[in-house]
Each structure stands twice: as C-alpha cells, then as structure tokens.
Chains A and B, each alone.
Chain A
Amino acid sequence: MTKPKWYLLLALLLLPALAFAGGQKGEAPGGPVTLEFVVWSYNITTIQDNIAQFEKVYPNISVNLTDYPWPQYHDTMVLRLKGKTQTDVMYNGEDWLPEFAAAGWVASLEDYFPDVKKYKEKTAGYALADMTYNGKLYGLSYYADLITFQYNKKILDDNGMGAPGDWDEVLSDSLKLKEGGMKYPFCYEYDATLPNFYSAFASQVYGRGGSLFDDDMNAVLNDPNGEAFKHLQWLQDAKTKHDIMAFETHEPKVVVAMNTGNHAFTVLYNYNLSAMNKPPQALAGQFDITTMPGEDGACLGFAKFYCMTQQAAENEARRNAAWTFIEAFGGGDYKVAKRWAVEDGLGFAALPLFDDPDVQAAFATWIDVEKFKAQAKLARNDANPAWKGMWSEFFRPLMAKAFVGGATVKEVMDQGAAKWNEYKKLLGQ
C-alpha cells in the first residue's frame, strides 16, 4: 500500500480517542438549574405531572426526566453512574444504597442539609433504616411497602377455613384445598434473577420470628435450628414433598394466576394486592392480607426513595436545587406520597399518612386497613451492608435450586453463609 493509505488507517484507529478528547460541558455559573432526575418506568405520566406542578412553584428549576424499566434499573444505573452521565436526583432502593454509597456515587442529605433530620421522627422505622447508611440519612421516601401474605379470602371462607396463623396451618390448609381439587394452593413468585425472590424469603422468616443475620452482621442463616433454615426446608417440602406449590416468574403473572381461582395463598409486595383486587380482574374483591404466618407475625418492610448523587452534591447550585426537589417530593406535607397512595395503592413511609382519611378510604377499597396498619407496625427492615446486592445475586440461584430439590437446604445455607462471611471479611469495616 502506498504511504497515504497508511495514514488514513492510522487516523481511523485514532478516531475514538478524539471522541474522548471532547470532555465534559462546562457548568453555567448561577442562573436556572436543570436537574437530571432518573426513575424507573412506573407511571411516568403521573411523575411528569408532579414535575410540572413543582416547576410552577420553582420556576428557576427545570427537571429533565429519564426512565429505565424496573427490572433493568439497577444495572442501567450502575452503567450510568460509572460512566458519569450527569445525574442529580435518582430513585434509590434499600438494597442498592450501601452499594452506591460505598462506590461514592450518592451523597448523604444529612451532611449537606441537616434540616432533613426533622423528617426522621415522621418516618416509619424500617423505612428510615433503609434510607440510612453509616448513620447518615440519604434520602426521603418515594414509597415504602411491605412484603405480605396475601390470600383468597372467599375461597377459604367457602371451605370453612380461617386465615392461617402459622406455617403448619398454611400446609394443612393447602393439603385440605388440594383434596378438594385445587392442585397448587400456594402460588409462589419464583425467579432467581429478581432481588425480591430473596426479600420474600426474608419476610417469611421474619414472620417466624427468625433472622438471617445477627446484630454483628454475621450470617446465621445456616443454623439448622434457626427459623431461616427451617423455612427453606418448609418451602422445599411444600414443592417437592407435598406438591402444593406452583411457580410464576414475576408478580404480574402471580396476580393473573391468583385471579384464575386456582390458588389460595401467595407472598408478594403489598401493592400487588391492589392489582389483584381491582376490576377488571376476574376475582376482584376476593383477596386480602393476613398477618405473616409465624410466631412473630413480623414481615419485611422496605423503602424506595429520592436520593441525591455525589455529582450533584459537588455543585452548589445543583445540590440546592436537588434538595428543594427531594423535599418537595419526599417531604413537605407528603402531598406526592399521598397521591401515589391514593391513586395507585403504593405504600408509604410517612407516619401521618397512616391516619389520613383520604388514604384510608382509598386503601379500604382493596385492603383491610386495620390489618395493614397492624402489619406495618410489625415490619422490620433487612440487613443491608455494602455487599448485600452482590451476595443476594449469588444466593438466589442457590435458593432456587433448593426449592426444586436440586440441592439440600444444608448445602445451600452453608454456601450462602460462607459467601456472606467472605464478603464481610473483604468489605466489612
């Protein structure tokens, strides 16, 4: 090849480098701020409406909304934050906060705006714990919810059964229903790729009064006398021995399956009950929650919240705008949280809303409000150290194997505990 062609090819190779030579755009000093707000794709129209109302009150802050589908939200945020794409306020969750905080991507509100502390006493305990890392508060709640035991009340009533109080009763009720022709009374959300596959398990363990980790953040799930161990065994037996369990890979399908009338029990995020119980579902109105079976009756509570990024925190104008935004959406008079509760059945962390008549009236159309309040009082949050997300990703496929008898409970629990302790050694302070 002649010389000119070599230069051409060299230029082609260097083209990508030029792209990076561009560099970040400069920040306009003072003046109006555009906040980059990232959410997962749930009811974007409602969010946009909330944003429009906010922008009217604060005309010098404009909000740019970006959304990613819920199942891919965490992963896409990892990519986005790692790539340093401008992000100011984002949805965050209890299992991701420690990860993102340890990676230095999100900033503590308490550090920059001590005023946020006044919301602590108005926030449900489990939600507050979920929004706190290293003793500092990182956000204000978007919504908070419980993982509850939901059942078809009508079917149980028709069969002369009351709601089960413990897991032995769940089994005996199921066997009775099975005799009556219901093949799989327990519909389980079974998908190892979803974080809530683990959370639902934890919630059931809490009902029994057990724990997977102790106060020093050591793994105790593999204690054969512990409730976690016993419950995984219960689940394995339910599937492989008693054959009372059917699997669905995601909650919308559980909602659909429950509405075929072929199942009686399930354990899901609480808001699914509103999806199950509302028209045009075939069996709308037949479902309710009951206290999580087990001695304690406790369940898992969790919070999703508005969080400020470290990127925003480093720029004065942005962080002030971010705080104004977060307070308007997650604090203040809880107007936004109330709207989510009333219109979409999303749970909330704000204690005042539990007694709000509008909220109660809206919830009453799909759930027993007193039972809900009682269950919320018993809710606990899960342990969430920096390695929780990664460990959960490791542990869930093992749990999935145990369910179908592909591994013994002991093997699975031992491997889970070993991995947890390994992470603790590597990353624990």
Chain B
Amino acid sequence: MGRKIHVYIFAVLLFLFSAGPLLLTLVGGIIPEKVLLSVPPRLFSMKPTLSYYEYIFTGKVPEAFEERGALRAMVSEEARLIPRAMLNSATVALAVMAMNMVFGSMAAYAFARIHFRGKSPTFMGIIMCRLVPASALVVPFYLLIQAFGLLDTKLALILVHTLLTLPFTVLILTMFFRRVPAEIEESAVVDGAKPVQVFWRITLPLSASSMVATGLFAFMLSYSEFMYSLVLGGSQRSRTLPVVMTSLIYNPDMIWGMLMSGVFLTLIPSLILAIVVWKFVVENIILGAMKY
C-alpha cells in the first residue's frame, strides 16, 4: 500500500502541471479586469463575472466597458468569431482524424503484413516527406491549393493537415501492427480469411489503443495547426481557431480577461473528445488484455 502514496503524489504533480496553466485561464476568464493583474495579486477581491463569455456568445457588451459612459465601448470584436472558428476547427480536425485512421491503417497493414517488392522505398518515401520543414513548402502548397480552386475552403485544410500527419500515422501503426502476434493472424488465414477480413476482424481490434493514439494525434495536430490555416484561409467560412486566437492576442483592444475566456473555450472540444475517447479506450484495453 505504501506504493500507492508514490502514485498519488505523482498524479497530483501531473495534474497540477498539465491542468494548472489551463485552470489559470479558467480563473482569468471570470475575474474582472480591474483586479486580474494586480501586483501583488488580489484576485478574489471582486466578484467573479461571466460577462466575457456572454459577450463572446451573444455580443452583449460587458457592463465594465460602459462604466464611464464612453461613446462606444472598444470591445474586441474578434472575440465574437470564436464560436464559428471553433466549429470549423473541430470539423476539419475530425475529418483529418478519420482520414488518418482509415487510410493510415490501410497503408500500415500493407507495410506490416504484406510482402511485396518496392515496400522499403515506398515506406521511406512516405516517411521522408516530413523531413523538410512545413514552412519551407508554403509557396508550392499555396499554388497547388489555388490551382485546385480550394483556397479559403475547409477541404484544403483537411487535405494539407492529413498530409502533415499521415507519415507519422503510417509509421506508428506499422510498428504497432507488427506487434500483433502473428499466430493469431496466421490461424485466421488458415481458416480461410482474406487479408481484408484479417485486418478488420483481428488486427484492428487488437491494435485499438494504437488506433486511438494516432487518431488523437491527427485530431490534435489539425486542431492546433496555425500556419497553413492562416495562408490557405481568408474568410470566416474557413477560419480556424488558432488563427482567430492569434488575432485576438495581438488585438490592441484586447482585455486580458476576455482573452483568457476565449482560450478556455478552445479547450472544450478537445475536452469532450478526450472524455469520449478515454471511455472507448478503457473498454478496449480491457478487452485487448483478455485476448492475450
């Protein structure tokens, strides 16, 4: 039982480190600006307020802005763009996640289990395309997307983000698929199963946790990607969260508290995804363990 103490200490430290900064944004989004950044801090001397969140979703200008009868409150309008951007980001990221899981696993299965000539060069070719930094390829990517007529569309982002994540997905899944015990697959083949059936019925379920890992990886990378979302977008219809948040950060009318509430909001889709995913993982890891 003494071992458990170590576990809890580590868990608490981990929680503080991971969540601490994010809890900070939660606090920052509800503390009035007047006391938010006072030195020394007296964060709780004024009542917390949800007015920033209200503004973001409804456009109702927080009372604090109208205190001295200013002609028109200079509230950062950019904050109102957050909900739509969040939707765009989540949509694109989910699509990227799906493309990665489907196409990446198919390719990985071929590399892990099928024996064919040209395997090594193909594999290397796919992996190597991530060697050149993405920022050096902006111009040709832009010209390509423009030629396809996809500027300012979510589809362009889905394609580019998928490209940025597939090499890693394929690499990781190939390595994981290889670890699935060959005997299980071979006995299925002996029983007359075709490769597709082996893939679908055996390999995938036994690699559930790695599929989850790469799916999350693809989602998170797409959700947080900035550079291509910036140059390939242009209007609100394809604008993603990272771009809006950057505008917000550099906006002169920005109030720190409003910024923090925006930041906290960006966490929500990923929090939902995390909860959903972990439930799925828990069920599958337990299942997987029994298979062995």
Where the two chains meet, the residues of A that have a C-beta atom closer than 8 Å to any C-beta of B are: 1, 16, 19-20, 22, 38, 41-46, 64-72, 76, 79, 82-83, 85, 250-252, 255-256, 259-260, 262, 269, 271-272, 274-275, 278-282, 284-285, 342-345, 361-362, 365
Contact B64 A252 (CB under 8 A): no
Is B159 part of the binding interface, using a Cβ–Cβ cutoff of 8 Å?
no
- Given the known interface contacts A41-B247, A67-B235, the answer about A275 and B32 at a Cβ–Cβ threshold of 8 Å is no
- Given the known interface contacts A1-B117, A45-B80, A260-B38, the answer about A72 and B230 at a Cβ–Cβ threshold of 8 Å is yes
- Given the known interface contacts A282-B37, A365-B71, the answer about A71 and B254 at a Cβ–Cβ threshold of 8 Å is no
Among B65, B81, B143, B253, contact of A279 (Cβ-Cβ < 8 Å): B65
Stretch of B14-22, B88-96, B147-155, B195-203 lying at the A interface: B147-155
Shortest Cβ-Cβ A-B pairs, 10 listed: A280-B64, A66-B234, A19-B147, A279-B67, A69-B247, A41-B247, A280-B33, A282-B34, A343-B72, A45-B77
Among A42, A45, A69, contact of B230 (Cβ-Cβ < 8 Å): A69
Is B231 part of the binding interface, using a Cβ–Cβ cutoff of 8 Å?
yes
Q: CB-CB < 8 A to B264: which residues of A?
A: none
| Apart from A42-B251, A275-B253, A280-B64: 8 A-B pairs, beta carbons within 8 A | A69-B230, A71-B246, A71-B250, A76-B230, A83-B142, A250-B250, A343-B74, A365-B71
In the complex, A79→B227 CA distance in Å? 12
Q: CB-CB < 8 A to B39: which residues of A?
A: 260, 262
- Given the known interface contacts A43-B77, A279-B65, A362-B71, the answer about A83 and B253 at a Cβ–Cβ threshold of 8 Å is no
A–B Cβ pairs within 8 angstroms, 16 of them: A1-B118, A19-B144, A19-B148, A22-B147, A22-B148, A69-B243, A259-B37, A260-B37, A260-B38, A260-B39, A278-B70, A279-B68, A280-B65, A281-B33, A343-B71, A365-B70
- Chain B residues numbered 69-85 whose CB sits less than 8 Å from any CB in chain A: 70-74, 77-78, 80-81
In the complex, A284→B68 CA distance in Å? 9
Is B217 part of the binding interface, using a Cβ–Cβ cutoff of 8 Å?
no
Q: CB-CB < 8 A to A262: which residues of B?
A: 39
Is B252 part of the binding interface, using a Cβ–Cβ cutoff of 8 Å?
yes
Contact A69 B32 (CB under 8 A): no
Is B138 part of the binding interface, using a Cβ–Cβ cutoff of 8 Å?
yes
Contact A79 B253 (CB under 8 A): no
Contact A274 B74 (CB under 8 A): yes
- Closest residue on chain B to residue A40 by CB atoms: B247
Among A16, A19, A41, A280, contact of B67 (Cβ-Cβ < 8 Å): A280
Is B186 part of the binding interface, using a Cβ–Cβ cutoff of 8 Å?
no
- Closest residue on chain A to residue B67 by CB atoms: A279
Q: CB-CB < 8 A to B139: which residues of A?
A: 79, 82-83
Q: CB-CB < 8 A to A45: which residues of B?
A: 77, 80
